[in-house]
């Protein structure tokens, strides 16, 4: 059971990139060297390399053509051709395309949107044997090392490491909810990407950035598990 530690939040900026320019994307930066991420993990080099490689393989880039904008974000693959991402990345989509770690492009459909959290599930027409993520059994404690993976700016996949700063309450698309606060580097386009522990298990879903502290925010894995177990995802309306 994670301990809630008060963390002051300013305005949380959602991290999906939109072609409408509602939230301006930061200038592109080169991805951090993988060696740096390996050195920050408290693991032997072969184990760290394996975890980082696996973290990229389970993560996909998402491009969602909506009614008025192109949403760009990240997501991760679960068994059965299910992909998890943020609701704000794929809200009211007409066409969704995923790009994989090995350069493939796959079509997907939005299967459901969570009505009380920034989560969405997609279904692949053909999962093509993609590597799948393992979900951690519980939300991490403050101080836990974490790995954030995503496609900032819609560019190449990046991996950053950090720790859980705390667990706090925040506004998530109009709903008050518990969120994980991390100091790993997170940028726009990381929305929907996995937050992993040092074993490579998903502990959260990245969704926003606290503008004052620069800390990343993630929906806890416990929230995701609850929504998946209860099948608490509504079908998208499809209306613009």
20 Cα distance to chain centroid: 21
Beta strands 216-220; 202-210: pairing state? antiparallel
CB 114 within 8 A of CB 91: no
225: phi then psi, degrees, rounded to nearest 5:
-60, -40
Verify whether residue 88 is a known catalytic residue.
Answer: yes
Beta strands 145-150; 202-210: pairing state? unpaired
Q: What is the DSSP letter of 153?
A: G
Catalytic residue among 74, 88, 197, 215, which?
A: 88
Catalytic residue among 91, 118, 127, 197, which?
A: 118
Catalytic residue among 74, 117, 191, 222, which?
A: 191
Is 123 in a helix, a strand, or coil?
A: strand
Verify whether residue 226 is a known catalytic residue.
Answer: no
Verify whether residue 118 is a known catalytic residue.
Answer: yes
Name which of 120, 118, 115, 71 is nearest 95 in CA terms. 71
- Active-site amino acid positions: 88, 118, 191
């Amino acid at each position: 059971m994670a301990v809630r530690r008060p963390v002051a939040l300013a305005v949380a900026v959602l991290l999906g990139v939109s072609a409408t320019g509602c939230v301006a994307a930061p200038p592109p930066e080169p991805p951090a060297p993988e060696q740096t991420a390996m050195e920050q993990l408290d693991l032997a080099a072969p184990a760290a390399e394996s975890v980082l490689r696996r973290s990229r393989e389970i993560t996909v880039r998402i491009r969602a053509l909506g009614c008025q904008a192109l949403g760009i974000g990240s997501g991760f693959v679960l068994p059965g051709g299910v992909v998890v991402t943020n609701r704000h990345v794929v809200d009211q989509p007409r066409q969704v395309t995923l790009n994989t770690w090995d350069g493939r492009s796959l079509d997907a459909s939005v299967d459901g949107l969570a009505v009380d959290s920034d989560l969405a599930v997609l279904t692949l027409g053909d999962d093509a044997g993609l590597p799948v993520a393992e979900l951690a059994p519980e939300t991490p404690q403050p101080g836990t090392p974490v790995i954030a993976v995503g496609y900032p700016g819609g560019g190449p996949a990046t991996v950053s490491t950090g720790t859980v700063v705390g667990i706090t309450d925040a506004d998530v698309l109009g709903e008050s909810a518990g969120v994980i606060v991390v100091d790993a580097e997170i940028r726009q386009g990381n929305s929907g990407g996995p937050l992993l522990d040092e074993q490579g298990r998903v502990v959260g879903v990245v969704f926003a950035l606290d503008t004052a502290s620069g800390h990343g925010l993630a929906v806890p894995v416990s929230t995701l598990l609850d929504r998946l177990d209860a099948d608490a995802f509504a079908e998208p309306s499809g209306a613009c």
